[in-house]
Structure 1
Amino acid sequence: MKTEHNPNIDELLVKSMLDEASVAEQIEIKQWLLDDDDNQRYFEHFELIWNESKRFARTSTVDENAAWERFKARTTAKERETEVLPMYPKPVFRILRMVAMVLMTAGVGWLSYIFATRSSSDEMLTISSGMQTLTDTLPDGSVVTLNRKSSISFPQDFKGKTRDVRLIGEAFFDVKPDKSKPFLISVNDVTVKVVGTSFNVKDNAEKTEVIVETGIVEVATDTQKVRITPREEATVLKASSKMRKGITADEFHNYYRTRRLFCDGTPLWRLVEILNEAYEADIVIGNERLRNLPINTTFDQNSLESILGVVSETLSLKVEQHGDQIVLK
């Protein structure tokens, strides 16, 4: 598990739970989650016990030792009830003890004050897709579809003048119209603003990309702002923080929702790029002259093997397997 290589991850997760993590720390946490599936399970376990700690703190007494023993007993019982929670005894219980002791200090700490005074409607909910895509309905009726290894956080109720959510990874939004209360998505240092439309937001280590299907979407950073309409996209490059606007070249952003890859004169290099992403494969083009060969077909819920078979026949090329790598030549 990757936590062995990041000894500060528990501290970063605590800061994230308290909404105190800086932008750089949020990026570090997000990258850690993407590095390994075990990290995602560790985070879900950590978040579950953190929330249990908050709930338990509201009814705890000043007797911290007795409270801690009761908390350990409850945690042990929870682990016996379900087998889906991974066991990380040393780091988790070290953090649990720190969290519990802080939360159980009879209301003296500011954390206890916040947890006691915050109404349930202000609590942030987080849903994560894990290794499968996930579709859910938000409190306002908007529908979100999360790609694999993505998550979204939002309040139980959208109060105030805006509907604010936070995104990690990639998601497609079908936002319920409400001109009086704009829908705002925060993803790293990019803000996406709409009142009612459908669009895709994708964030990775290199860029943040927004592609519109219907309506008008405003994409903004601290220094730049653009409006995009259907079949347009806005991309913010992380290396330079520059934003660029353009026309959507293909419909590959839909693959995780439709399971369909529509190729219309698509160059081989672009199809390989999306196949590597969609199937977590390692496909390389072994001959430079093949890169721009066009493909005109639709792959509808096909396996990777089936797709490569069609590509091989269509373009008269060979598909060779070298360990985990697939070479087209």
Structure 2
Amino acid sequence: MNQDQTIDDLLAKYLADETDAHESDTISEWIIASEDNQKTFDHSKLIWDGVKGVQHQQKVDVDAAWKKLNITKKEKIEVVDLSERRPLKKLNWVTNFLKIAAVFVLLFGLWYVAAKQFATPKNDVLTFQSGNQSVERVLPDGTKIILSKNSTVTYPVKFEGENREVNLIGEGFFDVHHDNAHPFIIHTQGTDVKVLGTSFNVRAYNAQVQVVVKTGRVQFSKNNSHVILEKGQKAEVLANVNTIVKSEDLDRNTDVQANAKSFIFEKKSLAEVTEILSQKYDIQIIISQDKIKNCKLTASFEHENLENIITVIAETFNLKIQYQDDRIILSGEGCE
């Protein structure tokens, strides 16, 4: 069996909820391997869900139908024998006609239900999760998203109406396809980001939302408050606070969102650096003394693992590193 056949078989089992844990992991890895694989999966799932709907809505007892038809045939044959007539050939023609008609009626019923099922795709939505690594995704309108790990975006199968609206949980870098007539709106943690065509980063964890604009202009709103952001600007909303804080300080790490293991720090406090690293590597990094938190780091890392990055930071500020289960503790005399 070739690779395509193996994937086809596994995909069918996956959609039927019959795969084991290993097979499910295989399908998940195949889906995120390429954009074509993702489109194939979305299309297959849409068809699968439609067929399931047809099966639930159109139940026909074929055996009972044919049994009834055979009884009718038998009764007509007995009448012919009693009257000593022989219209058997005509009777067979009528029976065959009824069989063909029954098949056409069944097929028409299935077609009608299927057509009704797929006639309103605007109500169908797709949910895409990034898992343990950042993944690029292209939406139906051509908008590109680089979704950070452990993040989720929900969007319609086809954008219809005045606005293009999506929902985000986590973090994503958006390169929005330009369309003056149809604004692009992101809903996340009680806030809205409205754009026409631009690129920007949205980070929304634990009700804290941050928007950083790389190109173009966006409108960032919460309740009745809103601000307009341009290139090089950012705005934040803290948890349980309605006030939007706007600033000019652009974190250059938003320019390298395509690679979750690439970082650029320019006079960043150690507190900010460890917060970014904690989010990217999903591990708690603790600074044991407050006097260390304000140490300023200027460095860049490309394709480095976390252990190497922490080692460089520790050597730069003469810190001690302590690894403790799922967290890292940094301690030392400070940078003064």
Same fold, judged at TM 0.5 (above) = yes
The equivalent of 2:56 in structure 1 is: 60
When residues 206 and 125 of structure 1 are mapped into structure 2, their CA distance, relative to the original with a 3 A threshold, is closer
The equivalent of 1:303 in structure 2 is: 305
Partners of 1:164 and 1:54 lie apart in 2 by: 24
Range moving further from structure 2, 124-133 or 153-162: 153-162
Larger radius of gyration: 2
The equivalent of 1:250 in structure 2 is: 251
Partner SS state of residue 273, structure 2: helix
Range moving further from structure 2, 319-328 or 208-217: 319-328
| Contact 2:146/2:257, CA 8 A, preserved across alignment | no
Partners of 1:188 and 1:282 lie apart in 2 by: 23
The equivalent of 1:136 in structure 2 is: 137
The equivalent of 1:292 in structure 2 is: 294
1:324 aligns with 2:320: no
Moved over 6 A (4+): 47-51
Partners of 2:296 and 2:118 lie apart in 1 by: 61
Shift of 1:242: 2.4
| Contact 1:252/1:274, CA 8 A, preserved across alignment | no
| Contact 1:211/1:248, CA 8 A, preserved across alignment | no
| Contact 2:164/2:183, CA 8 A, preserved across alignment | yes
Q: CA RMSD in A?
A: 3.1
Range moving further from structure 2, 168-177 or 246-255: 246-255
Report Cα offsets for 1:67-121 as digits up to 9, x if no partner. Answer: xxxxxxxxxxxxxxxxxxxxxxxxxxxxxxxxxxxxxxxxxxxxx9xx7485235
The equivalent of 1:172 in structure 2 is: 173
Partner SS state of residue 311, structure 1: helix
The equivalent of 1:24 in structure 2 is: none
Report Cα offsets for 1:245-288 as digits up to 9, x if no partner. Answer: 12235223455423321111111111111111111122211222
When residues 327 and 179 of structure 1 are mapped into structure 2, their CA distance, relative to the original with a 3 A threshold, is same
| Contact 1:256/1:278, CA 8 A, preserved across alignment | no
Partner SS state of residue 314, structure 1: helix
Letter in 2 for 1:327: I
The equivalent of 1:101 in structure 2 is: none
Calculate the TM-score normalised by the size of structure 1. 0.65
Shift of 1:179: 1.0
The equivalent of 1:20 in structure 2 is: none
Q: How does 1:193-232 map to 2 (within 5 A)?
A: 193-232=194-233
Q: How does 1:89-128 map to 2 (within 5 A)?
A: 116=117, 119-128=120-129
| Contact 2:173/2:257, CA 8 A, preserved across alignment | no
Letter in 1 for 2:208: K
When residues 325 and 140 of structure 1 are mapped into structure 2, their CA distance, relative to the original with a 3 A threshold, is closer
1:267 aligns with 2:263: no
Partner SS state of residue 257, structure 1: coil
Letter in 2 for 1:219: F
When residues 231 and 52 of structure 1 are mapped into structure 2, their CA distance, relative to the original with a 3 A threshold, is same
Partners of 1:201 and 1:297 lie apart in 2 by: 24
The aligned length equals 241
| Contact 1:283/1:325, CA 8 A, preserved across alignment | yes
Letter in 2 for 1:202: R
When residues 295 and 156 of structure 1 are mapped into structure 2, their CA distance, relative to the original with a 3 A threshold, is same
- Alignment gaps of 5+ in structure 1: 1-37, 42-46, 66-111
Shift of 1:230: 1.3
When residues 210 and 308 of structure 1 are mapped into structure 2, their CA distance, relative to the original with a 3 A threshold, is same
Partner SS state of residue 276, structure 1: helix
Letter in 1 for 2:148: N
| Contact 2:170/2:203, CA 8 A, preserved across alignment | yes
The equivalent of 2:235 in structure 1 is: 234
When residues 188 and 294 of structure 1 are mapped into structure 2, their CA distance, relative to the original with a 3 A threshold, is closer
When residues 298 and 170 of structure 1 are mapped into structure 2, their CA distance, relative to the original with a 3 A threshold, is same
Letter in 2 for 1:326: I
Shift of 1:305: 0.8
Report Cα offsets for 1:207-263 as digits up to 9, x if no partner. Answer: 111110000000112211110011211212231232221223522345542332111
Report Cα offsets for 1:28-68 as digits up to 9, x if no partner. Answer: xxxxxxxxxx9xx9xxxxx9999956641234357699xxx
Partners of 1:165 and 1:323 lie apart in 2 by: 37
When residues 166 and 51 of structure 1 are mapped into structure 2, their CA distance, relative to the original with a 3 A threshold, is farther
- Alignment gaps of 5+ in structure 2: 1-24, 29-41, 62-112, 332-336
Partner SS state of residue 228, structure 1: strand
| Contact 1:201/1:209, CA 8 A, preserved across alignment | yes
Q: What percentage of residue pairs aligned between the two structures are identical?
A: 29
Partner SS state of residue 169, structure 1: strand
